[in-house]
Amino acid sequence: MKEGAAVNLKKGLINGLSITLLMVKVIVPCYIIIEIIKHFGIIGIISEFFKPFMRFFGLPGEAALAIIAGYTINLYAAIAVISPLNLSSKDITIVALILGISHSLSVETPVTQKTGVNGWLLLVLRISLSLLAGAGLNLIWTLF
- pLDDT at residue 126 above 90? yes
* Cβ atoms within 10 Å, residue 130: 21
Q: Which of 12-16, 51-55, 59-63, 135-139 has the weakest average pLDDT?
A: 12-16
How many angstroms separate the CA atoms of 11 and 8, rounded?
Answer: 5
The pLDDT of residue 140 = 96
The pLDDT of residue 108 = 86
Q: Residue 143 carries which DSSP code?
A: H
Q: What is the mean pLDDT of residues 10-34?
A: 86
Picking from 98, 95, 88, 106, the residue whose alpha carbon sits closest to that of residue 63 is 95
Tens of pLDDT, residue by residue over 56-108, are 999 999 999 999 999 988 898 899 889 888 899 999 999 999 999 999 898 88
Tens of pLDDT, residue by residue over 99-114, are 999 998 988 888 888 8
How many angstroms separate the CA atoms of 65 and 70, rounded?
Answer: 9
pTM reported for the whole predicted model: 0.80
Taken in order 85, 89, 90, 96, is the CA torsion positive or negative?
A: positive
What does pLDDT average to over the chain? 90
- pLDDT at residue 2 above 80? no
